[in-house]
Amino acid sequence: MPPLRENHSENTLAGTDAIHTVSPFTPHMSTQEFYIRQPSEEEARGPYTLEQMTSLAENGEVTRETLYYEAATEQWVATGDNPDLAEILYPSKKVLRVKKKEKIQSLNEADLTTKPITVQQMLAAAEGRVEEGASTLPPPEVAQARATMIGRIGAIAMLVVTAIGFTAYSGGALLKGDFAALGTKPLGYFAAADLILAILLACRLNFAHGLTRLRAALFVGFIGFFYFATLGTAGIPAIALGTLSALALIVAVSWQHILGVLVTGVAGLVVTIIFVIRIFH
């Protein structure tokens, strides 16, 4: 407690001690009680905790010129003259500088040197028609769209081939609705499944591509085991050729590659169906 007169009405202190500007560091500052006054005042206020002093400093009620009573020296000291206390009450503010804008090459940014492509131009390129004076090579977007279209048509063609083949294998039992005959030739149900998949692909439904891949995987596994159990390895190359070509249609992005796997796929499936008919007839 500073040796000053206490004012009981406002819990303030009046003092006449001289003002000093040197204050030793107090290791117990966090638990220290502070009595403060302005240089022009004769009455002190307090006690305040360090947290309360921080709040007063933030609100501008305590400044660097505000005096506090230093119990260690029994003197009144300006808060700004105590480096440790000033660092807590008036922390140094960081200077914010605006960084220079950096040019970042974005992969999503349009190439200003490339001429925009309209829907009509894409359709014309897909049909093989080009504008006068234009390059005969289609842009990558058009080439990929064309490859996708050819791949979808190829997958539909392969599914139609297998549907026809399994219908012939079952003797047309599926078309006649003769489910008793299908009971003896259950592979005929593949004809219905392939026909449904072909219709879904023709409607351009995205989930049909996943079903087509599943259908190809089941075909190579089931029919492959069936052939191996009945004919040994005789039909395995044809099955592998047909099913792997069907799977390649999904991942190929060049129309030349798609045409190649389409030819091998149809050939492999035709041979596979011939083997099936041969086994059961």
Q: How many CB atoms lie within 10 A of CB 58?
A: 11
Confidence check: pLDDT of 168 > 70: yes
Q: Which of 37-51, 55-69, 182-196, 251-265 has the least mean pLDDT?
A: 251-265
**Nearest Cα residue to 53 out of 27, 79, 71:** 79
Confidence check: pLDDT of 92 > 70: yes
Confidence check: pLDDT of 120 > 50: yes
Q: Which residues contact 18 (CB under 8 A, 6 or more apart)?
A: 75, 76
Tokens in use for 247? Answer: 């799977």
Mean predicted confidence (pLDDT) in 231-258: 58
Q: Which one has a higher pLDDT value, 25 or 72?
A: 72
pLDDT category at 195 given cuts 50, 70, 90 is: confident
**Nearest Cα residue to 248 out of 234, 227, 262, 235:** 262
pLDDT category at 13 given cuts 50, 70, 90 is: very low
Tell me what the pLDDT averaged over the chain comes to. 68
Instruction: Give whole-number Cα distances, 215 to 98, 155, 209, 220, in Å.
Output: 59, 11, 10, 9
Mean predicted confidence (pLDDT) in 48-60: 86
User: How far is 188 from 123, CA to CA, in rounded Å?
Assistant: 39
Q: Which one has a higher pLDDT value, 185 or 37?
A: 37
pLDDT digit string (tens) for 205-242? 877 777 777 776 666 566 655 655 555 555 556 556 65
Question: What pLDDT does 30 receive?
Answer: 66
Confidence check: pLDDT of 109 > 60: no
pTM for this predicted structure: 0.38
pLDDT category at 11 given cuts 50, 70, 90 is: very low
pLDDT category at 6 given cuts 50, 70, 90 is: very low
pLDDT category at 90 given cuts 50, 70, 90 is: confident
For the chain, domain boundaries: 5-89, 119-280
Mean predicted confidence (pLDDT) in 150-175: 74
Residue % of the chain over a pLDDT of 70: 38
Question: What pLDDT does 262 receive?
Answer: 62
Q: Which of 71-75, 116-120, 178-182, 267-271 has the least mean pLDDT?
A: 267-271
User: How far is 238 from 224, CA to CA, in rounded Å?
Assistant: 10
Mean predicted confidence (pLDDT) in 135-140: 59
User: How far is 52 from 33, CA to CA, in rounded Å?
Assistant: 10
